[in-house]
Amino acid sequence: EYKHAGRNGSSRCLILDVEVNEEDLFRLKRCSLPASCQGDPIVVRRLDDVPHFLQHNAYLRNGYTSYLTAFQCLKSMFLWTNETVNIWSHLLAFFLFFVLMLMDLCEPVWLRGEQRSDRVVTAASLLCFQACMLLSAGYHTFRCHSQRAFKRWLALDQAGICVGIVGCYLPAVHFGFRCHPYWRQVYMCICCSLCAAVLYFSLRLRTSSRAFRRIVLPMYCCLVGYGLLPTLHWVHLCGGISSPLVSHFLPKVLALYAIGLLGFGFYVSQFPERCLPGRFDFAGHSHNHWHLCVVLGMLWMRHCWSDLLLFWSRQTEALLCHQPPLLAAEPR
């Protein structure tokens, strides 16, 4: 409000109405501080003290950070917040998969009875796992920077999930349909096309975490559930559950889906913090369990294809690929 006295003694009153949102006000305050004050310690806040877009779980009452600079976001990785376990569980997993990839690449191809195409597929799968882990860790690190950064990193995190699913499908289809190259090409194209479609929609939507549960999450569920179709077809082509290949690896496939369902159950139910709000703010909440299940599933996937390579190396390919004509027949 500004008052000005005119020549005739009358006064004029001008009112300036400016709308400033919470983020702009915070940035204006931060820019007005001296350089020595901008390195203040990061404040860990309660749920009611952070903006709405960060209130993703009403049962986590404490451990939040908001409107940090990029440098402060990196520093927050070493603070005890409700994102610390989320960040480091996937960041450490990224380095783990990187080391495993280097170990695989340094090992001679003939030593494990591999073909060169096998080495390419396994390396590509581990690269997908690394991308998933790194994007997830980046999202949980920089989501507290601003609402704009939150949406962008959420889209990248969703893209990382899709890439991680691709990393699971690649070796499963490649090794599972080794005796059936036609169906291997068909299912590889279908899986990559579905993942590309889900990836496109997840990047285009840039939704909030709540909208992710309503829109994008069902798409990922369908994408993962689709894997049951080639699994059943693989069982049929290999001669049923009596086949040594199927009897050995079908339980491993079912165990992989069980791990995924367990993690999904934690994610959707928000257990255990739903039962004891405020008790699992910093560690042990549902998203921590979800992260651990994702890492465990990827490690189990790598174990499965390593075991499958060993299985192939112990028996001749001609013996394993020999099936009755009706079961082995493929479209020409």
The annotated binding site is made up of 140, 287, 291
Strand partners, 11: 5
Binding residues for Zn(2+): 140, 287, 291
Listed in order, strand segments (DSSP E) in 65-220 are none
Torsion of CA 195, 130, 145, 264, to 10 degrees: 60
Torsion of CA 84, 85, 91, 96, to 10 degrees: 150
From CA 312, how far away is CA 111, in angstroms rounded?
Answer: 12
| Structure-block tokens of residue 179 | 């005796």
244-269 and 286-314 are packed helices; what angle lies between their axes, rounded to 10 degrees? 170
Measured in degrees and rounded to the nearest 5, phi and psi for residue 84 equal -60, -50
Work out the burial of residue 280: count CB atoms within 10 Å of its CB; fewer than 13 is exposed, 13-18 middle, 19 or more buried.
Answer: buried
244-269 and 228-237 are packed helices; what angle lies between their axes, rounded to 10 degrees? 170
Contact 27, 247 (CB under 8 A): no
Q: Which of 204, 134, 202 has the alpha carbon at shortest distance from 164?
A: 134
Polymer length in residues for the chain: 332
